[in-house]
Chains A and B, each alone.
Chain A
Amino acid sequence: MDLKQYQDVWVFIDCFQGHPKDVGYELLGQGRLLAEALKQKCCAVIIGENVDEAIKGATEYGADIIYVVRGEEYANYSADAYGHAFLELCEKYHPNTILIGATANGRDLGSKLAIRLKTGLTADCTALSVEEDTGNVVWERPAFGGNLYARILCSETRPQMGTVRPGAFKKPQKCQNKLPVMIREDIRTKQEDILTKVIDFIKANDESGIKLEEAEYIVAGGRGLKGAENFAMLKELADLLGGSVGASRAAVDAGWIPQSKQVGQTGKTVTPKVYIACGISGAVQHLAGMTESDTIIAINKDASAPIFEVADYGIVGDVFEMVPAMIKEMRISKNLEQ
């Protein structure tokens, strides 16, 4: 394999029913940095039935080239259809690097491509850089529940691939007046080659309406909350802040709050403006999901709780006193109370 034949950084624009997810744009930002280091182009790959929104977004977020594959068989993600289309693109255009958001579908797609292309895939990367002399991307990622970080190389094969958690990077600034090159490929996948078929969909029941990964303010609860009913006060505070409620694994395991709210190594990665950790000890697995938050505020009875090592502001106190006090202060400042 002559590695030099492989050019450009490709970013998969993961969409749901035609709506692009933020992670694709976040990766266009990272892809741009890698492309500059490699002195190559940053490209977007869009596969779907309704592709206009994604094309618009990829343009706004600075793709140099946009590859588009359209077809009704791509309306819903399936490993076979998306995999087939992406593979044909790869075989024709030989990308150097592929970035895919580590959503459920993205991880699935990444695995399929890596096996078929006989190349390396590094999962859940939190930092990316380039080795100047070799052109290898250095894929940095957590392991052992976040206790250890590894730097991985895919040095002998191309494309070199990685998945990146949604929210691990922030979206780049939008570009004005950029005109990317559009390459539309007519790649169709036959129905009989698609082994799975989506027959229905049940929307997630998200009472707050704000997705955890997109929330700017998160109030999270851990073991110290002692019970499901006590999450109500966290919700009240989150609502006042205009944000969302999160939880540590301990709270989820205890059945106090659904797994969709779990922040951490086996839950979600979040990078809000403010993360308020209530009654959370700060186990490494949890930190892996929230240390990149801009400002971390921790409230815990135990002064030696590891959460205080990553927090910006710490209060050694009782959450059952502090959270209501914070709610009261917020309500006063918003003129809801005297």
Chain B
Amino acid sequence: MNIVVCVKQVPDTTEIKIDPIKNTLIRQGVPSIMNPFDKNALEEAIQLKEQHSGSVTVISMGPEQAKATLREALSMGADKAYLVTDRAFGGSDTYATSYILSKVIEKLGPFDVILGGKQAIDGDTGQTAPSIAEHLGIARLTHIRSMKIDGNKCVVEREIEEGIEIVEAKLPILCTATKETNKPRYATIKGKIESLKADIENITLADLPNMDTTKIGLKGSPTRVKSTFIPERKSSCEMLEIVNPRETAKVLFGKLAEAKIL
């Protein structure tokens, strides 16, 4: 079984702070990590490989430093890793990014299963993976809880707001993983040592001859950022003094009743 996983290196957005004077994001010193949901996707891929035998390929579109994330994927048990990188890809929105990745997958494939995380914690769109499926013209199921494969069919538990759908589909298929899908494993010491020595190839525009260059980079992105801003927080909090808990609760409810909130 051939499986490919799309992973992204992201800043750990729980560690990002705002410069209070310049009102900008402080990105320095923020650690770069593998997007947590991509880790769930990778874990799912490795489990499938363990059950069905085959190989797990990991790809990531990003700058050279994203290789650290690819190495992490190798240390967990992926077999091959590629960095998709080229100046021409810079500035791509989800349309262009998904197009580029779909071309890479075509080149490295064919694959039975494509896995990705449900959203990246920096962009938070959740669009790239399903868009890849659309470019490739294959089935896709997002937000999976579990995946069982039997021959060329799969049965997936898919999480929607109302509950869990059990969905059947034929391979090839693209699925996106959530935190509920599994608990990603730690690398083994051996795996970590080998991953540090592994060769990670770059895939550039030159390696993708049938790429429609009007669909990549800034020019190939139908959406663009007009402006960004940091949300201002109003600080008009009425702090209640604690006399004793009961008194404070009384005062709180009194105020809420007065303001006709409760």
Contacts and interface: CB of A to CB of B under 8 A. Distances in A.
Any A–B CB pair closer than 8 Å: yes
Contacts of B127: 107, 110-111, 114, 121, 123
Contacts of B170: 195
Where chain B touches its partner, the secondary structure class is: mixed
Interface in B157-189: 158-170, 173, 178-180
Contacts of B135: 115
Given A104-B143, A115-B135, A309-B235, 20 more contacts: A111-B127, A115-B131, A120-B222, A123-B126, A143-B123, A144-B11, A144-B13, A144-B25, A145-B14, A145-B121, A151-B229, A153-B226, A196-B139, A203-B163, A204-B161, A204-B162, A297-B252, A313-B255, A317-B242, A329-B246
By size class, the interface of chain A is 35 or more
25 contacts: A76-B165, A107-B126, A107-B142, A108-B142, A115-B131, A115-B134, A120-B93, A120-B222, A121-B127, A124-B124, A141-B124, A144-B16, A145-B14, A151-B226, A152-B226, A156-B222, A197-B168, A200-B166, A202-B163, A202-B166, A266-B119, A310-B234, A312-B236, A313-B240, A313-B255
Which of B135, B160, B164: most chain A Cβ within 10 A?
B160
Q: Which 4 A-B pairs have the closest CB atoms?
A: A145-B13, A120-B222, A195-B139, A120-B223
Contact of A314 (B131, B169, B237): B237
Contacts of B180: 259
A157 interface: yes
Given A103-B160, A107-B127, A202-B164, A118 B225 contact: no
B66 to A, nearest CB: 17
Interface stretch (A43-51, A53-61, A180-188, A320-328): A320-328
B22 interface: no
Nearest to A102: B126
Interface residues of B, number: 78
B95 interface: yes
B238 interface: yes
B194 to A, nearest CB: 30
A202 B166 CA distance: 8
A195 B141 CA distance: 10
